[in-house]
Structures are given as C-alpha cells and as structure tokens.
Amino acid sequence: MQAAMLTYRVDPKYPPLMQQIRKNGRIQLHAIISTDGTIESLQVISGDPGFYQSALDAVQQWRYKPTYLNGQAVEVETVITVIYSIN
C-alpha cells in the first residue's frame, strides 16, 4: 500500500475573535480522502468551536496524491490536526 501524500495545503485563517482574545487552539478532524485525492468527507472530532469553521474551510481545499492498494486507487480515512498558535 502506498500512503496518501499531501500535495496542496491551504493554511487556515486565524478567526478574528480568537486572535483578538489571543486564544490558541487545536482542532482534530476526521477526513475521508477520495480516490482522486480530494477531501470527500470532513467532520470535527474535537477542539474549540471558535476554530471549527476556519479549520474546515482550509482543510476542505487540501489535495492529496491518491493512495493505491494493489495498483488501484482507494479511499483513505485519516485524522487531521490543525494547530492555531499566536506567536
């Protein structure tokens, strides 16, 4: 099996309210990567609700090199962690 590899990544925008209150956060998302490398399904597993939409909007645009099993492209389930940190 050849694992999925991220080929295009969009950084999430820091939500203005969370930035204003100087809040850091971590969002965990459950994703299904389709056979063509796009995000087919995306759900929040955990994290601060103030970051949910920003994380979902960014990760939905990510693209992966398709995963192959025995020469055929397959869907892959994975957990993606998005970290927000004010420097």
Q: How far is CA 62 from CA 10, 21, 22, 24, 32, in A?
A: 6, 28, 26, 22, 12
Is 57's pLDDT higher than 90? yes
- Interval 8-18 mean pLDDT: 96
* 29: its two tokens: 């998302």
- The pLDDT mean for the chain works out to 93
Of 3.20.20.150, 3.20.20.70, 3.40.50.1170, 3.30.2420.10, the CATH number of 5-84 is 3.30.2420.10
- Interval 63-83 mean pLDDT: 93
- Interval 3-23 mean pLDDT: 92
What's the predicted TM-score (pTM) here?
A: 0.89
Is 4's pLDDT higher than 80? no
Is 1's pLDDT higher than 60? no
Please state the domain extents for the chain: 5-84
